[in-house]
Every structure is written in structure tokens, then in C-alpha cells.
Amino acid sequence: MINRRLIVAGLSLLLPARCADPIAPEGRLVTRLALDRVALAPGDTARATVIVTNASPFSVTITGSSTCLIGVTIFREASGELVHPRGQACTADLTPLPFGPGESHVRSFIWTAERYAYIDHELRKFPEPPGRYRIVAGLGRAPDLTRTSEPQWIDVVLR
């Protein structure tokens, strides 16, 4: 006779890792976002710096995909359309990211206010339309971030 508990336990090891908020309930991670500019033209570079700090008196470790532990989302303010990231894929690895009491981790992201698309088997880039864009940083896979920062805004302008 087959032990059903062992089968269920074995199958649970094969399930993919979820990019959700993997923080212990007692952890207090705070996410801050800083932009190096408030306006840019398509093709210019804006840097978003994300700082995640453990504001608790004890250690906290988050675990998830190494490419999706900390991320940013960018939305066109007028329509609410997600413009970054599009089609983000997380790796299947499970990577721990420990935070000691008061410790911070910093990640930087670059945005050029351009989008890419394959047309006739050729990768082409297109400028984002002028307007206001909202940027939010947080933990997990974008756009489903948790422990998010206060939003910041950047204006895309014509040259």
C-alpha cells in the first residue's frame, strides 16, 4: 500500500515558488524609492534607487526568485497602463536575502522611457508618449509588489 502523505509531500516539492510577500509576520521591512530626475525625454536615462530597510530589532530573511526579490513598476498616470516591466520572468531559483536589525539592501533600476516590440522579426524601440508616469518600488514580482514605497512621479517630455 502506498503512503499518500509521502506522495503529497513529494509533489509539494515540485510546485513552483510563488513570488509573494515571503516575510515573517513580525518582520518590518520598509521600502523607499529615490529618483535621480523628475523629467526625461525618451532615450535619456532615469535611475530609480530602491532601499529596503529592516526597521525591526530582529533579523528577517526573505526568500524568492533572485531576479524578483526587489522590483519597480511604472504606470502611465493618465491611463493607469503598466509600462514597466512587461513580460517579466522570474528565475526558478530560491534565494535568501537576509536583513539584520537596521540593515538595508539597495538596488538600482534604469528606465529610458522607451518600449521595445518585435515587428517583422526585428526588435524595434518606441518612445513612451509624453505625460506623467508613476513609479512604485517594493518586494516581489512586479506588478504584484508588496511592502511598497510611496509613489514617485516622473514626466516624459519631448525633446
pLDDT value, residue 27: 63
Q: Does 50 score more than 80 pLDDT?
A: yes
d(CA 21, CA 40): 32
pLDDT value, residue 41: 94
The CATH number of the structural domain formed by 4-156 is 2.60.40.10
The domain segmentation of the chain, as residue ranges, is: 4-156
d(CA 48, CA 50): 6
- Grid cell in block for residue 104: 538595508
pLDDT value, residue 131: 96
- Quick check: helix, strand or coil at residue 10? helix
pLDDT digits (tens, 9 = 90+) for 68-83: 889 899 999 999 999 9
Phi, psi of 150 (to 5 degrees): -70, 145
pLDDT over 90 percentage in the chain: 48
pLDDT digits (tens, 9 = 90+) for 2-14: 554 444 444 333 3
> CB under 8 Å to 127, separation ≥6 — which residues?
42, 43, 113, 114, 156
Beta bridge partners of 106: 51
d(CA 12, CA 20): 17
Q: Could you tell me which residue, 74 or 142, shows the higher pLDDT?
A: 74
Confidence band (pLDDT; 50, 70, 90) for 20?
Answer: very low
Q: Does 109 score more than 80 pLDDT?
A: yes
Q: Could you tell me which residue, 146 or 18, shows the higher pLDDT?
A: 146
